[in-house]
Structure 1
């Protein structure tokens, strides 16, 4: 019998990160070719110019030297790719900046690779210079001497490497900054893709960075030349001399007279100038190399004018995998591509709307949820995580025990004494049976030290303070001191960290999400054949409204002085307001039918108005503090006109009936009462028929 073959499983789409990696590799090759030209220039300027033609011709000694210098640039490329991230640094205080930039694993990696790059550049330069050998040949009656010039230049290059490693971390040379553009004052239908990210051509951006790189390299190389001789002569001369002597003895026959350096370093002014030129070229190589890769990587995710995922067998599935990616670089480029599709490519938009037979749901619904998740992450950064409900452990009900367990040991037998092995092993058993074996003794020791410090810090005769109160007081005093600026966070930094993210803020992905969701849903009115996109508009309106209100409230609370530095946050607010306004204008007829409440619709309309343009009639009146009323007492035998204080219950009921029935109804008037001296008074709580009966008793 023939058996039915199982249906073939659907192959998963190719991940979007592979397309992004392929595009980044191509851009890396372009940057590496320019770096190779820079290395050829270094070979020309640092080589011997005896033959002008062979000093620059790439297929010769100059080409070999250029390849050696290029390896120095390749190490910086490796560093940037390994530590690549999106966005600028958004730490809240200088202390947090120091901890993030200089006290991390990426910092150690940066220093090591810069030292390796500087060392390789130094060896290539020393190898190409004939007077920078390991030893200086002596005459027929003088021994060979260790050459001190390459020793000094190696130290000089290593100091330059440390300085540039710090500049690399401080300026964020591994951060890909994708600029976000403001909304045009007069939007036109022709201005599409350039609205979200205003990028100049690659050649223009490279030309703009050449002059600052030259100036920076000249300043750093000259500054380090003034510092290096002092560091070398006072601290590191003997150390570097011994290291070079140990290596040189492996290849040369040196006398014992070279065991220690003698006198001052005989470098000469001409050699110092040569060292400055070589250091300048080394710094310029690092500056241009780090800028080249960032410029080439910061381009649209397109290939020959088409989105990167267009070459996939399943373009929509590939793009969806990028939208759901955890790595920030892949997700940023995926939403950038979705924004480009929403603005330019109507065929891809129709394909996304018509892709409704996926096992995981319609394609547009999944893409929309991925975009809304980004905005919900922004909301979570502002509001904070929800409180965690304490988990109630399940109690296992057991049968009641009527009698205690019977003892098997004899009650008259004494406990056996533990042996030495058991006595030594008992602490180890106690530690091994604990869930956290090393924590208890550490906590006890730390607690004892804390108590001793508190006793020492407590003033004589003063009340004892808790550790938290003492630490808080120390923190307050530290912030009030002259060093408080180092630990205090500014309002601008708080806003950027909350809205854009921390420690690195990515404004590009937020702008692309807003633009992509808005344009795609507006285009669904004419391109969605099955009408699957319209029911998703209310969720988008709710998310946009809540995000816009949260961001504006947070900015108004923390930026009362109007400090600058929140330009990207303002752009995000403008994009949210414009996108919400566009959705309301396009879907206002369908929103209530699709499940959006009237109150939510009014709230969304109110959010589209800028805070300065809200009319005064719609603004909520501010509640004024009520004045404190003086205590009044009702007095006996007093006319209604002269009586002060609250009305009795009977009169209040009549007043309420009068308010409901209208002013035309007539009511019975109370009979006039006999006046009495003001000395007779009762508490104000007395009212109603009981009060009338007491008045009659007083008259009698």
Structure 2
């Protein structure tokens, strides 16, 4: 089929779909805001207490403004795949200061808007007015209660921002290798998990109250009071005192924060979860692939497969997997389009999928390649002929001692220092003194023993720190290292690779009946060889991968369980399943299309064995 039309970029279809999902995701936190707005009311009128007009509608509007900053964080920071780094410390560095600052500022802004909305709605009843009138003969005083409440809401925003970064809320986890025909309904998922969100919200609020209150009374009380007083004295005639007036009654104020803080964190939880669930839905529109609306569907799909944007590429490979697995009519067009400008459609799709799979082998080879020796310094150029400069240094008179190897460990440094002391204080006269030589020998041996004890103690301290809770931040765990090498960094490409494997398997199996032009069978040997080489490389790498001394969790496991990584095992299983299906479909034709009998037997053995053989790491 000729395809002379200019393909429309895949991003156009994806952005339109994401916009629809974004508008749907707003409905769920909006329901929570409506419930909170009713809770804040006085419930005096049977109609105006709940009808979404008047005071209730205004409170809902303010609460919507409070969760919109969270959507700004998610839209700008969403990633199709989580952060991938050998250790949490490396992941934190990859996250970047700017993104962390941006996340913290917008969560604090969200908490501030929520707090102001509550103070505006319930300030009089809860004694949260900006000032206290006092008695008739007293001047107006600044009220510390709203200062404390605003501070606690800001602390809650910082705590939530920390958890957002630590738990990687920006990760979109529902992109999977195989197409899903039974996706979870977001409404059902949110309703079923609502009690868990509420418990987590209460826990976060209690933790923030405990730490935040201690820091407030120790460090920040005077600072918050002085800053607020300096602003308020320009707006109202306040008393000259600049000392905090007190938080009494304190227990009702604590109850206000615990309840409202729990509701705020619950709103954040629903907002984040609704966004993630809607964003992670399959790339379909009315049950059909997104690119079906394009004048050149396969051209737009190829445009997405080539994209450098990971979100666009991930969605395009997921759609390719769905097309090759569910939509037979659309799959046939991939085989039929042979006169595309840059090559047949099936050839371009196959090459793009194989490039993602071969990338695994390339990253493994790069990680296991020996470190090249340090480049030697270039020799200095000789002076020109006729120069009076001396070409060689004068000969050294006296005893000549060639330089030894530089010390590398602490023990070698001590040995070198002790030897130097012995050589400095020795002479032909005292060398004959056996007593002096004996003392020098004992001193050197004592220094070595002290160095060994120091190294042993230092090693013990390091291991103790690695097992502690703060040490988790610096652990180079084996699963993290393996995932970083196989699936790239700083964000994982695992779903793209899985989708490429499944899509190639679907195309290979269906080509026997649907490849009318008969061009795909020439690509099958390269696909099988790539699958075979990738499985071998992964198994060889995992066999030779050593557990880092900081990885306390892996070291605590039995020896047979240490190198079982769920993500890596899932990729190997997908590769073996795909290789098995390809061999089953083309077993009678493989020798005729260019594969040797040895290659075929090698692939069959690889699929047949359940556990990897002991292979030598290259």
TM-score range, shorter chain: 0.7 to 0.9
How far is 1:387 from its partner? 9.0
Match of 1:44 among 20, 23, 38: 38
**Superposition map of 1:399-418 within 5 A:** none
CA distance in 2, matches of 1:270, 1:63: 27
How far is 1:345 from its partner? 0.9
Match of 2:192 among 178, 202, 208: 208
**Superposition map of 1:297-446 within 5 A:** 297-384=279-366
Contact 1:36 1:67 in 2 (8 A): no
Matched, 1:609 2:608: yes
CA distance in 1, matches of 2:53, 2:352: 53
How far is 1:267 from its partner? 3.9
Contact 2:186 2:274 in 1 (8 A): no
The Cα RMSD (Å) is 3.2
Match of 2:66 among 68, 72, 86: 72
Query: Under a length normalisation based on structure 2, what TM-score does the superposition of the two structures give?
Result: 0.78
Q: Which moved more, 1:563-572 or 1:478-487?
A: 478-487
3-state SS of 1:375 partner: helix
How far is 1:363 from its partner? 0.9
CA distance in 2, matches of 1:233, 1:388: 54
Aligned equivalent of 1:15:
9
Contact 2:302 2:349 in 1 (8 A): yes
Contact 1:479 1:488 in 2 (8 A): no
Deviations 1:418-462 (A, max 9, x none): xxxxxxxxxxxxxxxxxxxxxxxxxxxxxxxxxxxx9xx979934
How far is 1:54 from its partner? 2.1
Match of 2:110 among 117, 128, 144: 117
Matched, 1:142 2:124: no
How far is 1:111 from its partner? 0.9
3-state SS of 2:464 partner: coil
How far is 1:612 from its partner? 4.6
How far is 1:89 from its partner? 3.8
Contact 1:88 1:504 in 2 (8 A): yes
How far is 1:179 from its partner? 6.0
Aligned equivalent of 1:62:
56
Match of 1:285 among 267, 272, 283: 267
CA distance in 2, matches of 1:78, 1:565: 38
Match of 1:130 among 102, 123, 134: 123
CA distance in 2, matches of 1:116, 1:565: 43
How far is 1:511 from its partner? 2.0
CA distance in 2, matches of 1:39, 1:30: 15
Contact 2:10 2:312 in 1 (8 A): yes
CA distance in 2, matches of 1:225, 1:490: 33
Matched, 1:194 2:194: no
Match of 1:520 among 473, 496, 507: 507
Match of 1:508 among 479, 495, 520: 495
How far is 1:526 from its partner? 1.1
Contact 2:539 2:612 in 1 (8 A): no
Q: Which moved more, 1:349-358 or 1:244-253?
A: 244-253
Q: Which moved more, 1:109-118 or 1:267-276?
A: 267-276
How far is 1:518 from its partner? 0.8
**Superposition map of 1:628-667 within 5 A:** none
3-state SS of 2:138 partner: coil
CA distance in 1, matches of 2:40, 2:414: 66
How far is 1:229 from its partner? 3.2
| C-alpha distance 235-205 of structure 1, shift in aligned 2 (>3 A) | same
Aligned equivalent of 2:594:
595
CA distance in 2, matches of 1:459, 1:127: 74
3-state SS of 1:48 partner: coil
Query: Under a length normalisation based on structure 1, what TM-score does the superposition of the two structures give?
Result: 0.70
CA distance in 1, matches of 2:250, 2:274: 36
| C-alpha distance 110-613 of structure 1, shift in aligned 2 (>3 A) | closer
CA distance in 1, matches of 2:371, 2:594: 30
| C-alpha distance 351-588 of structure 1, shift in aligned 2 (>3 A) | same
**Superposition map of 1:539-688 within 5 A:** 539-558=526-545, 561-563=560-562, 566-612=565-611
CA distance in 2, matches of 1:47, 1:474: 66
Contact 1:149 1:267 in 2 (8 A): no
CA distance in 2, matches of 1:68, 1:549: 58
CA distance in 2, matches of 1:246, 1:330: 51
Q: Which structure has the higher relative contact order (CA within 8 Å, separation 6+)?
A: 2
3-state SS of 1:357 partner: coil
| C-alpha distance 489-223 of structure 1, shift in aligned 2 (>3 A) | closer
Match of 2:149 among 131, 146, 153: 153
Bigger Rg, which one: 1
How far is 1:480 from its partner? 4.5
| C-alpha distance 143-52 of structure 1, shift in aligned 2 (>3 A) | farther
Contact 2:5 2:295 in 1 (8 A): no
3-state SS of 2:519 partner: coil
Deviations 1:356-379 (A, max 9, x none): 111111111111111111111111
CA distance in 2, matches of 1:593, 1:476: 64
Contact 2:176 2:499 in 1 (8 A): no
How far is 1:250 from its partner? 3.4
How far is 1:228 from its partner? 3.3
Aligned equivalent of 1:442:
none
CA distance in 2, matches of 1:368, 1:252: 73
| C-alpha distance 554-604 of structure 1, shift in aligned 2 (>3 A) | same
